[in-house]
């Protein structure tokens, strides 16, 4: 017999991921998309490919009604059809609608919204659309949309984080955290100001003022004003268009059934006409 010093082979160890880790993996997998074009926060935003996410509520409905009963039973035992899961699915679907709508050219066309076409501005438009949806959701019991809205906003911030991590910037964790925190702080402040504007005696004028302070800014975040320090007429007209857009969406969303809204099945009202729409 030949002596050997080799250690016996170790038995393989199988790690079972936690439910939270598995959920995080699935969300990241669902958000996988083609690489975005290189762009900076203050650079002109490139066209964004559609995210590979959406149809989550439809998939839950399929699992609940279109698969063998025993599979549905196991999924039900595992909590797949809990209320939090339905809300999470609806929030993911609603995020797709927000991201797609934020790319609408009317927001950045000089004849309509005339917003600066920058990466950060597109995030702000997503934030504005999210606020519009939140105003509608607040008409329903809070427990029915808390998870939904949190999931939607998580996708908004995660998408922004990916934009900062990729492209020519390729920011590190600390730098991304700084920009993300500033963006979230700004969004919360803007939402509070918009809420107050809705309750004011002159909501159109107040909403326009909020938008001029927050969205119609230069690369340094300063308001777009002329040499005399006053807002130029074209910018005022563009902000007025955005106000009409916001109010039109409020009326439109108010007409959608609550069950559809809470399932993320919402649509957007047509955009108002621009100053050069007849040309």
Query: DSSP state, 160?
Result: H
Query: What number of residues does the chain have?
Result: 279
- Under DSSP, is residue 44 helix (H, G, I), strand (E, B) or coil? strand
Q: Is residue 189 part of a domain?
A: yes
Q: Is residue 44 part of a domain?
A: no
Structure confidence at residue 50 as a pLDDT band (50, 70, 90): very low
Q: Is residue 48 part of a domain?
A: no
Q: What pLDDT is attached to residue 221?
A: 79
Q: Is residue 30 part of a domain?
A: no
Pull the structure tokens for residue 104.
């609408």
Q: Give the other-Cβ count within 10 Å of 126's Cβ.
A: 24
Q: Is the pLDDT of residue 171 over 90?
A: no
Give Cα separations from 4 to 7, 8, 11 (angstroms): 9, 10, 19
Q: What is the pLDDT of residues 65-102, one digit of tens each?
A: 999 999 999 999 999 999 999 999 999 999 999 999 99
Q: Is residue 11 part of a domain?
A: no
Torsions phi, psi for 164 (to 5 deg): -75, -30
Contact 101, 268 (CB under 8 A): yes
- Encode 95-157 in three state secondary structure: HHHHHHHHCCHHHCCCCCCCCCCEHHHHHHHHHHHHHHHHHHHCCCCHHHCHHHHHHHHHHHH
Rounded mean pLDDT of 118-138? 96
* CA proximity to 124, closest of 137, 107, 136: 107
Q: What is the pLDDT of residues 134-164, one digit of tens each?
A: 999 999 999 999 999 999 999 999 999 998 8
Torsions phi, psi for 186 (to 5 deg): -65, -40
Pull the structure tokens for residue 276.
């050069």
CA angle, 214 as apex, 211 and 219 as ends, to 5°?
A: 130
Q: Is the pLDDT of residue 193 over 70?
A: yes
Which own/partner contact pairs does 102-111 have at CB distance under 8 Å and 24+ positions apart?
A: 102/126, 102/129, 103/47, 103/48, 104/271, 106/245, 106/271, 106/274, 107/242, 109/274, 110/234, 110/238, 110/276, 111/274, 111/275, 111/276, 111/277, 111/279
Confirm whether pTM is higher than 0.85: no
Token look-up 């290189």 returns 38
Rounded mean pLDDT of 24-35? 40
Q: Is the pLDDT of residue 278 over 60?
A: no
Q: Give the other-Cβ count within 10 Å of 185's Cβ.
A: 10
Q: What's the structural domain count of the chain?
A: 1
Domain range enclosing 93: 53-262
């Amino acid at each position: 017999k030949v002596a050997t010093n080799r250690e016996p082979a170790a038995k393989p160890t199988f790690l079972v991921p936690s439910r939270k880790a598995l959920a995080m993996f699935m969300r990241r997998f669902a958000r996988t998309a083609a690489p975005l074009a290189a762009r900076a926060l203050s650079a002109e935003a490139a066209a964004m490919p559609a995210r590979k996410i959406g149809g989550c509520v439809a998939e839950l409905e399929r699992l609940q009604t279109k698969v063998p009963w025993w599979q549905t039973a196991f999924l039900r035992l595992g909590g797949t059809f809990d209320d939090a899961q339905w809300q999470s699915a609806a929030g993911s679907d609603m995020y797709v609608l927000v991201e797609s709508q934020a790319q609408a050219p009317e927001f950045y066309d000089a004849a309509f919204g005339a917003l600066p076409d920058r990466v950060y501005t597109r995030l702000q438009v997503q934030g504005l659309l999210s606020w519009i949806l939140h105003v509608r959701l607040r008409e329903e019991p809070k427990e029915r949309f808390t998870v939904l809205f949190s999931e939607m906003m998580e996708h908004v911030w995660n998408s922004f984080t990916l934009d900062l991590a990729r492209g020519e910037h390729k920011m590190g964790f600390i730098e991304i955290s700084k920009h993300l925190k500033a963006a979230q702080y700004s969004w919360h402040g803007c939402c509070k100001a918009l809420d107050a504007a809705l309750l004011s005696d002159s909501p159109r004028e107040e909403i326009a003022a909020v938008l001029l302070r927050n969205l119609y800014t230069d690369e340094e975040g300063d308001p777009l004003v002329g040499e005399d320090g006053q807002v130029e007429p074209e910018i005022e007209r563009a902000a007025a268009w955005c106000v009409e857009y916001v109010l039109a969406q409020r009326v439109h969303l108010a007409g959608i059934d609550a069950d559809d809204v809470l399932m993320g099945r919402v649509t957007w009202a047509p955009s108002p006409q621009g100053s050069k729409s007849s040309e």
